[in-house]
Structure 1
Amino acid sequence: MFATLLNKINEAKLLPNISDTERQALEAGSVWVDGQFFSGNPDFGAMMAESYPQLSAEEQAFLDGPVEELLHMVDKWELRETRRIPEHIWQFLRDKGFFGLIIPKEYGGSGFSVLGRSAVMMKTSGLGPIGTLIVIPNTLGAAELLIAYGTQEQKDSYLPGLATGEYVPCFGLTEPTAGSDAASIKAEGVVFKDDDGEAKIRLNFSKRYITLAPVANLVSLACSLHDPDNLLGKGEHPGISVVMLKKGMEGLKLGDHHLPISAFDNGTIIGEDVVAPAADIVGGADGAGQGWRMLMEQLGGGRAVSLPAGGVALAKASAAAVGPYSIVREQFGIPIGLMEGVEAKVARIAALTYTMESARIYVCAGVDNDNHPPVISAILKQQTTEVGQQLVIDGMDIMAGAGVMQGPNNILGSGYISAPVSVTVEGANILTRTLMIFGQGAVRCHPYALPTLNAIQEDDVPAFRKAILGWLGHSTVNFFRGIVRSVTRGRTVSSPVKGETAQYFRKLGWAASRFAFMTDLAMFLVGGKLKQRGKLSGRFADALSWMLFGLTTLKRFEAEGRREDDLPVVHWALRYSLLQVQQAFEGIYANFNVPVIGWFLRYPGRFWLRINPLSTGPTDAMDRAAAASIQKPGEQYERIALGGLGTPRDDEPGMGRLLHAWRLVSAAQGPTLKVRKALHKKQIKAAGLVEALDPAVEAGVISADEAGQIRAAETARLAAIQVDVFDKDDYYHDALADNGEQEAPRFDRAANQ
């Protein structure tokens, strides 16, 4: 019976076929808490027991010392205008060890944890090309690959120079015809034996979008290796390999720039008959053909580090700016942050910033504990970059004119411009959401899917029998479990905590049961077509993503001591997260286009979803308390918003002057309220607040000291809401050459029409 069933499944192509590169991607890394959601019955006790660490003393000292010093050294506006990193900044980065955060101490690096590196990247992400210069040497590339896979000789040769900044690395992967489909790269390396009998590789390639390529002197090049004489002992076509190349090699061209929308060093790498020793394959001869596995394994953890750090930094920057700005900026005689429309956006920024930071720390800690979860990392990359982008857009809406007028005092403009870069790199988010998260997760993280697929491809009837019976039992249990949890609204789910947040564990358990059963339906009934059903897969990805964020939000709340003042933010974030899961399920039910079951899901199923929802989202009444968490100076504002971004000085433009004004305005709220009440009751008469101060002192409404306090606050307030003004020469950038003649334009409009 099972042999017949196996044959019919193969004939009908009910399950997707897995290519060799897809198999390597599927088997790379590890299953972590994502497997708990696919099980349908998450062990929340175990998931909450995952570590949620703080930085080590050494890492914190680095952030408080060299990183903070760097923030105050950089003129961000000048850097943006010139696109050139000054030499003294380069030297500072070398001297202070910024290039060796990932490298073990025995090779001259700092050996920071994943969380430590993420914290440095988050804090420096606002420095444009300097932040990028710090990220690339400390994430996927030469150092990470060599540490994990390099020969001892390669480690001894390259790692000390990478740690000191002697080597500036770049990673040559993307090509004009190979982006997210990196397995189809055209770069070719042909192995041959030179006149001395040494095995070498002749490389020809054209790479683009390579970050740091114009300033790099060490390239980790991904290529397809061809070994016609089997000199490496891996056959004629070993497969994708990574080869180390140094600047100056004949035929290797570096130096040309692309111009990203937020300027950082990015460009092309061209190779024409570049000859490299076969010994420079990462891992030596044993590493030949292992490049795809190396990349998939490192990306499994790498996506959890640099891009999420930048995405969370965008969210924090928005929270750090709009909380104070919404109080400093007044319209119609009141702070705009007290207007309900603005208040709703401030609340969302505060709550989702809290959640994104919780996920960053939770996942970085997981990677530090030797988990390399490709699905979780893909979720973190896709969601933090998109949520960060959306929160910056919300912040721009709140700051209005101050958000769109460029200059040294613009706080969010550079983040708004740079956000699309993070969305597109290391796998465009569209494909990450519609192909990777659920496509990989459904096969790899499901307890029975991969064993079943393996048995089918290997035509192994006993293994198939065991796997398919287990799968059917798993699906049946989740079907009935889901019904019980739906009818009881999750009350049968065990919560590892008591109190107000226990309800959310119950709802997450309820959602997980539904998710697991619907995954089985999709695998059984849509089968091999899931690869083409990106919209459906994307909704499954959304459900999984926001269940994860619900979990990490709860973990942060517990790990930080169940702070009572954080509850408004936690409630807002959890209700929002569950709403995203609810909407994902509604979309799945509405578009599950299979006979009979599809009709049932579209009509009675969706009706039941709507009258028995996981969440209807945050209520209007919840916005005020959530917004207030970042609208008043204090420890909570530091933790949710500004913490991790650095501390600007009062005399610095942008955030510095805004925070200075905010503190003065907040301190003067009491006396200001007295004057406004007196004006309202007509105890004093004046055209405005400042004009009312002297009459208010004379009438005994406030003291002279309080009047001075209000004057200082109002002066700072006015300064903080001003935008930059440029004279004609500065505005038009009329650059003059050394001989006093106007420099020729760098872009010929007529030639490009």
Structure 2
Amino acid sequence: MVFKAVMNGLIKAKAMPQISATERQALEAGTVWIDGQVFSGKPDFAKMFAEPYSKLNARERAFVDGPVQELCTLFDPHEVATTRVIPPAAIDFLAKKGFYSFLIPQAYGGLEFSANAISTIMAMLTSYSPLLSTLVVIPNSLGAAELIKHYGTQGQKDHYLPKLATGEYLPCFGLTEPTAGSDAASILARGVAFKNAEGKVQIKLNFRKRYITLAPVANLISLAFKLHDPQNLLGKGEDAGITVALVHRGTPGLEMGKHHQPIGDAFYNGPIVGNDVVIDADEIIGGKECAGQGWRMLMEQLAGGRAVSLPAGAVGGVRAAAAAAGAYAKVRQQFGMPIAEMEGVQEKLAEIAAMAYLAEGSRIYALSALDNGEQPPVVSAVWKAYLTELSREQAKNAMDVMAGAGVMQGPNNIIGRGYCSAPVAITVEGANIMTRSLITFGQGAVRCHPYAFKIANALEANDLPTFSSALKGWIGHMVTNTLRLIGMTATRGALASVPQIDGVTPYLKKLAWASTRYAYLTDMALINVGGKLKARQQLTGHFADALAWQLMAISTIRRYIAEGEIKEDLPLVQYAVEYSLEKVQRAFEAIYANFGNNLLGKWMRTVGYFGLRMSPLVGASRDRLVPVVAKTITKTDAQSARILGDLAMPKIDLAELDSDEVLARTKGVKRLMAAFQAVQAADVVQMKILQARRAKLIDKGSVQDMAAAALAKGIITAADKVLLDRANRLSLEAIMVDEFTPAEFFGKEGVTYAPGFECANVPNVGHGVAHDAPVEKLRVVA
């Protein structure tokens, strides 16, 4: 009787978040993974770290080291970004080598790679050329190939998959509309089923889509629409629901080919409009039986798919930032020293390096889960939102390090395009604001909590036995977890039973403590806010932050263990985990401050908040790690290779660059990395000269004067002098920014300036070439 009264009271009060049909499909899609461990309050780290950890197999590694690297030699990324035209040789290469077929089974002509391999390739290509990468990412992400592979009829698989594998069909996915972005389930695209004159069931479509990547060049659309069937011709009722069907370019009434102009690299993206477009009902993916099943299909594939393409691009962006900022900081000198030796610059470099390590650990850990059969929607949402945001932050840090070299555009600016393009990934598949404030905790609190989903289902079904069992379990969980939190707080996590790993165990104890507090706060939020949880987006956003940074800290440690606990990487791990715990601490403080104005909320904001601040998860100790972590990306060795991962890097022959003609043709990444190599090769020589100056064996002067004096006194050899001269020459060239004539700047000859101005005596200057010719400023014409 007591449980019956409680259940009726909760139903009447709408105490649990209300779940719509589309939300239920999202909640039921995929699996609960390590996110469930965090919500439990007692994570089993030994179990987590025993899970398989993906590595590329021999076939995948050969593809990455072969065709992927070769593709990146077929064109200049700056030229492609400027002209927006991908060379025909690169287009042909994509089709010939199977770049469209990573998802497609080998039986249908595909390469059938693992999620890890697909993500690795996407990360490389996105860091090299975002425009090119869209031609690879879209065919190998949610869309025609993936949906047909999982849900298509045999006829659809036999017809479409081989042609998608070869690029004969170039797909795009039509979902987003002017009035349906993050709220994709509210699409207005409408399809009406009818019988034609021959008695065949067809669908008349009317829609307006936008932001569709590859739409201007695609010839096959996977179109999402709401299907209406007034005569129930498909047997799914009058309003069948969201459906996905294939629409071919050239179908009467279909308008496509216009371009949007995305910020940064203007990849192919545009609108699709349909006016009375008629298709056969057989073009529904999965056939007529799958009418109305489109939302379920999308949620099931997005459950894991969000962890692949966008996080891959984000990781590629962080790697590129690390490579560029580390090299530039070593090459660029100010106040008589490389800026890499300045503490302020080191703070930026350390964060970039540690976040590159963390991001790669997060990427591979999640992909390992996918390759092991998991489909974790909450973790996928976290990776999409937080890794793309992390990439934007590290692009900003790299811009700070490179300063003017990152601001002035041209072929030699290797970081600016990535910085400008960073918002793109953040808006795809719903803005990160929505992912953070609605999806992550909104789904996680219900799906990953040990009992919440069971209680919500029982309340909806008015199922007393299930409700009674789940409520008893929840009460026991809350009591146990509250007592655990008291003990954990009193001992600052010392009570936690965790694996013993040198240099890491204290962090695991802190993460166990954080998980216990997180589970406690989740229970308090569900009890205190309940059915209004979706409306309390500030609160849910802070819960999302706390969850995300716990997951990323765990992923960082998982990487360290999987790679054999390489001791020189321990400072990277410690920096990344302390950074993450600091984020978790801030999120907890914000949660305590946002509980509301009732009695529990007041207690949280006063007593609870005070206790939280008095015993934080982590102190201000990360500064001690900055110098050693910053240096990891200002050198070329096995450690920096682990941090940078798979990047498309040019082959460099330093002796070849002794030619002025060759050096003049060397631009962008190759120019900077050549200087980086040359400076490292000359480090020993620089040290000899520095020691001689300190010993007063030579007088202080310019680099050239001190080198000449050192050579004359036998402190360095002639070969040493060659290394030093080459380093100085290449360094000076590497820090030059691009220069343009008026004709180049305006894109035409005979430029007319604003009224009242003219330009005089401007020499014809090539890109990135220093000059001594005088330049008169613009002057007012009387």
State how far apart, in whole Å, the 2-side matches of 1:311 and 1:617 are.
Answer: 28
Alignment of 1:576 with 2:579, yes or no, is yes
Alignment of 1:673 with 2:673, yes or no, is no
Q: Which residue number in structure 1 is paired with residue 760 of structure 2?
A: none
Matched positions, count: 735
| 1:86 to partner: Cα distance | 2.1
Unaligned runs of 5+ residues in structure 2 are: 658-665, 751-782
State how far apart, in whole Å, the 2-side matches of 1:139 and 1:234 are.
Answer: 28
Which one is further off, 557-566 or 46-55?
A: 46-55
Alignment of 1:699 with 2:708, yes or no, is no
Which letter does structure 1 place at the counterpart of 2:427? T
Q: What per-residue deviation string (whole Å, max 9, x for no partner) do you get for residues 332-351 of structure 1?
A: 01111111111011000000
The verdict on how the C-alpha distance between 1:244 and 1:560 changes in structure 2, with shifts beyond 3 A counting, is same
Q: Which residue number in structure 1 is paired with residue 761 of structure 2?
A: none
Q: Secondary structure at the match of 1:452?
A: helix
Alignment of 1:64 with 2:65, yes or no, is yes
Q: Secondary structure at the match of 1:238?
A: strand
| 1:735 to partner: Cα distance | 8.2
Which letter does structure 2 place at the counterpart of 1:84? V
Q: Which residue number in structure 1 is paired with residue 663 of structure 2?
A: none
Q: How does 1:129-148 map to 2 (within 5 A)?
A: 129-148=131-150
Q: Which residue number in structure 2 is paired with residue 656 of structure 1?
A: 670
Alignment of 1:606 with 2:609, yes or no, is yes
| 1:670 to partner: Cα distance | 2.1
- Aligned Cα root-mean-square deviation (Å): 1.3
State how far apart, in whole Å, the 1-side matches of 2:420 and 2:381 are.
Answer: 23
| 1:51 to partner: Cα distance | 1.6
Q: Secondary structure at the match of 1:225?
A: strand
State how far apart, in whole Å, the 2-side matches of 1:617 and 1:704 are.
Answer: 49
Q: Which residue number in structure 2 is paired with residue 751 of structure 1?
A: none
Q: Which residue number in structure 1 is paired with residue 217 of structure 2?
A: 215
Task: Among all aligned residue pairs of Structure 1 and Structure 2, give the percentage whose two residues are the same amino acid.
Answer: 51
Which letter does structure 2 place at the counterpart of 1:538? G
| 1:594 to partner: Cα distance | 4.2
Q: How does 1:508-527 map to 2 (within 5 A)?
A: 508-527=511-530
Q: Which residue number in structure 1 is paired with residue 379 of structure 2?
A: 376
| 1:649 to partner: Cα distance | 2.5
Q: Which residue number in structure 2 is paired with residue 747 of structure 1?
A: none
State how far apart, in whole Å, the 1-side matches of 2:238 and 2:550 are.
Answer: 46
Select the residue among 261, 266, 270 that pairs with 1:267.
Answer: 270
Q: Which residue number in structure 1 is paired with residue 114 of structure 2?
A: 113
Q: Which residue number in structure 1 is paired with residue 362 of structure 2?
A: 359
State how far apart, in whole Å, the 2-side matches of 1:338 and 1:129 are.
Answer: 36
Which one is further off, 83-92 or 314-323?
A: 83-92
Which one is further off, 406-415 or 683-692?
A: 683-692
TM-score, normalised via structure 1 length: 0.96
Q: Contact between 1:173 and 1:221, CA under 8 Å: does it hold in 2?
A: yes
Q: Secondary structure at the match of 2:138?
A: helix
| 1:619 to partner: Cα distance | 2.6
| 1:617 to partner: Cα distance | 4.7
Select the residue among 308, 314, 319 that pairs with 2:317.
Answer: 314
Q: Contact between 2:192 and 2:205, CA under 8 Å: does it hold in 1?
A: yes
| 1:671 to partner: Cα distance | 1.7
State how far apart, in whole Å, the 2-side matches of 1:387 and 1:618 are.
Answer: 22
State how far apart, in whole Å, the 2-side matches of 1:47 and 1:28 are.
Answer: 22
Q: Which residue number in structure 2 is paired with residue 95 of structure 1?
A: 96
Which letter does structure 1 place at the counterpart of 2:649? T
Which one is further off, 701-710 or 711-720?
A: 701-710
Q: Contact between 1:576 and 1:617, CA under 8 Å: does it hold in 2?
A: no
Q: Contact between 2:192 and 2:203, CA under 8 Å: does it hold in 1?
A: yes
The verdict on how the C-alpha distance between 1:735 and 1:532 changes in structure 2, with shifts beyond 3 A counting, is farther
Q: Secondary structure at the match of 1:202?
A: strand
Q: Contact between 1:141 and 1:220, CA under 8 Å: does it hold in 2?
A: yes
Q: Which residue number in structure 1 is paired with residue 485 of structure 2?
A: 482
Q: How does 1:43-442 map to 2 (within 5 A)?
A: 43-125=44-126, 126-262=128-264, 263-442=266-445
Q: What per-residue deviation string (whole Å, max 9, x for no partner) do you get for residues 358-414 of structure 1?
A: 000010111111111110000000011000010010000000011011111111111
State how far apart, in whole Å, the 2-side matches of 1:390 and 1:215 are.
Answer: 32
Q: Contact between 1:408 and 1:654, CA under 8 Å: does it hold in 2?
A: yes
Q: Secondary structure at the match of 2:410?
A: coil
State how far apart, in whole Å, the 2-side matches of 1:497 and 1:138 are.
Answer: 40
| 1:77 to partner: Cα distance | 1.2
Q: Which residue number in structure 2 is paired with residue 715 of structure 1?
A: 729
Which letter does structure 1 place at the counterpart of 2:121? V
Q: Contact between 2:122 and 2:313, CA under 8 Å: does it hold in 1?
A: yes
| 1:184 to partner: Cα distance | 0.5
The verdict on how the C-alpha distance between 1:596 and 1:146 changes in structure 2, with shifts beyond 3 A counting, is same
Q: Which residue number in structure 2 is paired with residue 647 of structure 1?
A: 649
State how far apart, in whole Å, the 2-side matches of 1:618 and 1:686 are.
Answer: 38
Q: How does 1:496-507 map to 2 (within 5 A)?
A: 496-507=499-510
State how far apart, in whole Å, the 2-side matches of 1:735 and 1:120 are.
Answer: 41
| 1:685 to partner: Cα distance | 3.0
Q: Contact between 2:357 and 2:556, CA under 8 Å: does it hold in 1?
A: yes
Q: Contact between 2:75 and 2:87, CA under 8 Å: does it hold in 1?
A: no
Q: Contact between 1:526 and 1:594, CA under 8 Å: does it hold in 2?
A: no
State how far apart, in whole Å, the 2-side matches of 1:607 and 1:648 are.
Answer: 54
